[in-house]
């Protein structure tokens, strides 16, 4: 085969698979499938609105608070919660307006979300916690580390949408979302049954959410993500809040050790933001996952769990270096 054709064939294969030796997706049966989640689900009224959350693991252990991204819910962390709950108290919530937490009466802002998470910790008796946030949840986590710094012991930012409002297309996207909100919401709800039955439609829907190789995720996880990814009433106000609150100038105030995790193939929030965050946060280091999209914790759960576990167990002080994690 001519070299040009060979390289083209290799490129095509990489579009469909990260390689035979890759750790992409969960191996074997995922532990979350054997958890009776009803035993860990709770509801609490915070600031006049109910919030649903998962609380699992030893109550006297060090706590981890998990914050999902835009359009997601606590199930974002299905591949991570069971493992960390063996040694930590894990709290994962549906932010107001997402999942099974209703849209609140107050204005949705990133600061308001950070305040809700802080109050939830306070009500649960959690004085300090490691905070792990994906996408918009990373924005909320960073806001907590700035405005509620005594609460946040360590911070993990997974494809955090902290600079999203700086995109030239951010404002046009918000305008588009305003005009299509109801129509797209109905399309997602009515299209879910068909997506669940058809592998290609499932893959297309999950790829739209930034997953690099959706067809390689366990089928049960694919179904769960599609069933819980609803265009809820909080989507548009949260998107508007992301576009209206610049955080760049405040990042120097984040004093806690911070781990930045990103995928090279993140189509929603560019990996270049990981490099920029590492320079702006005083005590941070980054880990870049090759051939990975927007949700590294679901796409490469084994590697993600090991990396975060090492980071959390490192104790106080600087964000210590770890082994490289290239695929």
Residue 265 resides in a domain? yes
Higher confidence at residue 314 or residue 97?
97
Predicted confidence band of residue 17 (pLDDT cuts 50, 70, 90): low
pLDDT at 289 over 60: yes
130 has which bridge partners? 64, 154
324: alpha, beta or left? (left if phi > 0; alpha if psi -120 to 50): beta
Higher confidence at residue 243 or residue 283?
283
Give the predicted TM-score (pTM) of the model. Answer: 0.86
How far from chain centre, in Å, is Cα 120?
19
Domain containing residue 265: CATH number = 3.40.50.1820
- Looking at residue 95, its pLDDT comes to 97
pLDDT at 132 over 90: yes
Strands 258-263 and 63-67 come out as: unpaired
- Looking at residue 323, its pLDDT comes to 40
pLDDT at 322 over 90: no
The count of domains in the chain is 1
Residue 20 resides in a domain? no
Predicted confidence band of residue 318 (pLDDT cuts 50, 70, 90): very low
Residue 253 resides in a domain? yes
Predicted confidence band of residue 5 (pLDDT cuts 50, 70, 90): very low
Residue 235 resides in a domain? no
Q: What's the mean per-residue pLDDT of the chain? A: 84
**Which range marks the domain in which residue 116 is found?**
31-167+246-313
What is the spatial distance between Cα 22 and Cα 293, in angstroms, rounded to a whole number?
14
Q: Which segment, 57-61, 195-199, 231-235, is predicted with the most confidence on average?
A: 57-61
Residue 192 resides in a domain? no
Residue 10 resides in a domain? no
Residue 231 resides in a domain? no
What is the spatial distance between Cα 213 and Cα 291, in angstroms, rounded to a whole number?
9
Tens of pLDDT, residue by residue over 63-98, are: 999 999 998 999 999 999 999 999 999 999 999 999
pLDDT at 297 over 90: yes
What is the spatial distance between Cα 203 and Cα 209, in angstroms, rounded to a whole number?
10
Tens of pLDDT, residue by residue over 109-123, are: 999 999 999 999 999
- Looking at residue 193, its pLDDT comes to 53
Three-state secondary structure string covering 80-149: CHHHHCCCCEEEEECCCCCCCCCCCCCCCCHHHHHHHHHHHHHHCCCCCEEEEEECHHHHHHHHHHHHCC
Residues in the chain, total: 327
Higher confidence at residue 161 or residue 186?
161
Residue 236 resides in a domain? no
Predicted confidence band of residue 129 (pLDDT cuts 50, 70, 90): very high
Which ranges of the chain does DSSP label H, i.e. alpha helix? Answer: 3-16, 81-84, 110-123, 136-147, 170-197, 199-208, 219-228, 235-244, 272-280, 296-299, 301-313
In the chain, the percentage of residues whose pLDDT exceeds 90 is 65
The phi and psi torsions of 300 (rounded to 5 degrees) equal: -135, 65
């Amino acid at each position: 085969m001519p070299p040009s054709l060979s390289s083209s064939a290799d490129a095509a294969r990489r579009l469909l698979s990260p390689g035979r030796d890759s750790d992409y997706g969960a191996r074997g049966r995922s532990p979350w499938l054997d958890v009776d989640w009803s035993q860990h689900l709770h509801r609490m009224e915070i600031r006049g609105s109910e919030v649903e959350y998962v609380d699992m693991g030893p109550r006297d252990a060090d706590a981890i608070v998990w914050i999902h991204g835009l359009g997601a819910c606590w199930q974002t962390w299905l591949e991570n919660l069971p493992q960390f709950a063996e040694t930590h108290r894990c709290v994962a919530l549906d932010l107001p307006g997402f999942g099974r937490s209703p849209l609140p009466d107050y204005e949705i802002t990133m600061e308001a979300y950070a305040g809700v998470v802080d109050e939830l910790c306070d009500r649960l008796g959690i004085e300090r916690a490691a905070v792990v946030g994906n996408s918009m949840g990373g924005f909320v986590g960073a806001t907590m580390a700035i405005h509620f710094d005594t609460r946040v012991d360590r911070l993990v930012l997974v494809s955090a949408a902290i600079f999203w409002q700086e995109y030239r297309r951010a404002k046009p996207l918000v305008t588009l979302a305003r005009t299509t909100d109801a129509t797209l919401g109905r399309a997602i709800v009515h299209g879910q049954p068909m997506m669940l039955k058809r592998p290609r439609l499932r893959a297309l829907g999950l790829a739209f959410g930034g997953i690099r190789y959706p067809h390689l995720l366990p089928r049960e996880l694919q179904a769960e993500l599609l069933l819980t990814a609803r265009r809820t009433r909080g989507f548009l106000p949260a998107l508007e809040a992301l576009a209206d609150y610049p955080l760049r100038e405040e990042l120097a105030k984040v004093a806690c050790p911070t781990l930045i995790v990103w995928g090279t193939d993140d189509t929603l929030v560019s990996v270049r933001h990981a490099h920029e965050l590492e320079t702006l946060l005083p005590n941070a280091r980054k880990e870049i996952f090759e051939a990975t999209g927007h949700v590294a914790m679901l796409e490469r759960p084994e590697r993600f769990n090991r990396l975060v576990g090492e980071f959390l167990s490192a104790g106080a002080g600087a964000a210590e270096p770890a082994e490289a994690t290239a695929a």
